[in-house]
Amino acid sequence: MAYNLNINGEQKSFDVDEDMPLLWVIRDVAGLTGTKFGCGLAQCGACTVHVDGVPTRSCQLQVSDAEGSTITTIEGVTGKVAETVQKVWADLDVPQCGYCQSGQVMAAVALLNETPKPTDEDINDALSGNLCRCATYQRIRAGIHEAAKRLEA
């Protein structure tokens, strides 16, 4: 069956099974590979995308439930918050292997959109679902605070 999805502002039809997770539509059918597969069980956050602005584990959202939503992946995330977060990520050398960082950035952007001056507690709540096996957490935390500071200025 064909499903119409709006990914990064483009409306496209995907002829796939209804139970196919959005993650695999994005990666294997749409060819947008910035979104990563880490666990397939909403345990690691590497597949985080924005669905109507809400950070969502794309491995747990089946394509039939994504129709009618606006989906944003790391390739399509734009605006001042996203640009600032990505700039800060490079300035602070947040990533190590980088595999989880698409998801971390998407989670961080969503947090800052919602909470412009997050506390450490806010950061823990928003990003505890995003695993980083390299344990770059100290710099992720610092990066979010720094982005908040730059965005306020």
Partner 1 sequence: MLNKIIPELNPAKIATSRRGFLLGASAVAGGLMVGMRAAPASAASDTAVEPANPLAGYIHIAPDNSVTILSSQFDMGQGPYHGLATLVVEELGADWSQIDVKGAAGNTKLYGNILWGGAVQGTGGSTSIATSFDRYRQAGAAAREMLIAAAADTWSVPASQVSVSGGKLTDTSGNSATFGDMAAKAAAMALPTEVKLKDPADWTQIGNEKLRRFDSAAKANGTHDFTIDVKLDGLLTAVVAHPPKFGAKVKSFDAAEALKVRGVTDVVEIPRGIAVVGEHMWAAIKGREALTVEWDEAQAETRGSAEIMAEYKAKAGEAQQATARTEGDAAAALSSAAKVIEATYEFPYLAHAAMEPLNAVARRNADGTLEVWGGHQIPDVYQGISAKIAGVKPEQVTMHVMKTGGGFGRRAVADGDVVAEAVSVARAIDYKAPVKVQWTREDDMRGGRYRPAYVHSFKAGLDKDNNLVAWHNHIVGQSIVSGTPFEGLIKDGVDGTSVEGASNIPYGIQNINVGLTTTDVKVPVLWWRAVGSTHTAYAVESFLDEVIAEIGADPYAYRMELLKDHPRHAAVLKLAADKAGWTTPAPEGRFRGLAVHESFSSVVAHIAEISMDNGTPIVHKVTVAVDCGIAVNPDTIKAQMEGGTGFGLGSILAEELTLVNGEVEQGNYDTYTPLRIDAMPQVDVHIVPSANKPTGVGEPGVPSIGPAVANAIAAAGGRRIRVLPMSKSMGT
Give residues in contact with partner 1 (CB under 8 A). 16-17, 20-21, 24, 27-29, 31, 33-41, 43-44, 46, 73-75, 85-86, 89-91, 93-102, 105, 123-124, 127-128, 130-141
Cα-trace Rg, the chain: 15
Shortest gap between Cβ of 122 and partner 1 (angstroms)?
A: 11
123: tokens are 């950061």
Cross-strand bridge partners of residue 54 = 51
Give the span between the Cα atoms of 10 and 71, in whole angstroms: 9
Contact 37, 27 (CB under 8 A): yes
Closest distance of CB 123 from partner 1, Å: 7
Q: CB of residue 34 vs partner 1: minimum separation in angstroms? A: 2
Residue closer to partner 1 by CB (options 37, 70) is 37
- The tokens 């590497």 sit on which residue? 46
For residues 151 and 146, give the distance between their C-alpha atoms in angstroms, rounded to a whole number: 9
> Minimum Å distance from CB 44 to partner 1?
5
CB of 137 to partner 1, least distance (A): 4
Residue nearer to partner 1 on the CB measure, 65 or 137: 137
User: Of 16 and 61, which has the nearer Cβ to partner 1?
Assistant: 16
For residues 69 and 140, which CB has a smaller minimum distance to partner 1 in the complex? Answer: 140
Cβ atoms 25, 17 nearer than 8 A: no
Contact by Cβ (8 Å): 76, 13: no
Q: 23, 47 in Cβ contact below 8 A? A: yes
